[in-house]
Amino acid sequence: MSQPAGARVKAIREFMGMGVQEFADFMGIEYVRLKNIEGIRAKVNEIDFRNLGEKFPELLPWLVYEGPISIKALQSSKSNYCHIIVSKIMADLEPKGYGIRELVVK
């Protein structure tokens, strides 16, 4: 299932269990910008990808081009945020409707 980058950003926010304002603050962007990204009214730009990559490096292939999500890479990540995400994937608690399960590789 193909999703725009803004939908994948929203999926990460949902993985983290954060509201829009909380995630905007976490990412260092304006609330309105995040709402526009998630609503596909604005594109994810280079700075956004860099900020996301710093916090979720192992998710960059998925964020950028819907590449695979590697369980092994998430488990060995230095990012505690990636550990939260892999735990939710393993417990089948990932956000639904984004086709994440189809892209997970061991």
For the chain, which residues make up each domain, given as ranges?
A: 5-105
* Class of the CATH domain delimited by 5-105: mainly alpha
- What is the average per-residue pLDDT within 32-45? 98
Q: How far is CA 48 from the centre of its chain?
A: 11
Q: For 58-103, how does the pLDDT look when each residue is reduced to its tens digit (9 = 90+)?
A: 999 999 999 999 999 999 999 999 999 999 999 999 999 998 999 9
Indicate whether 1 pLDDT > 80: no
Distance CA 16, CA 86 (A): 11
How far apart CA 1 and CA 16 sit, in angstroms, is 22
Q: How far apart are CA 96 and CA 80, in angstroms?
A: 22
- Identify which of 16, 33, 21 has the alpha carbon closest to the alpha carbon of residue 80: 16
In the predicted structure, residue 2 carries a pLDDT above the cut 90: no
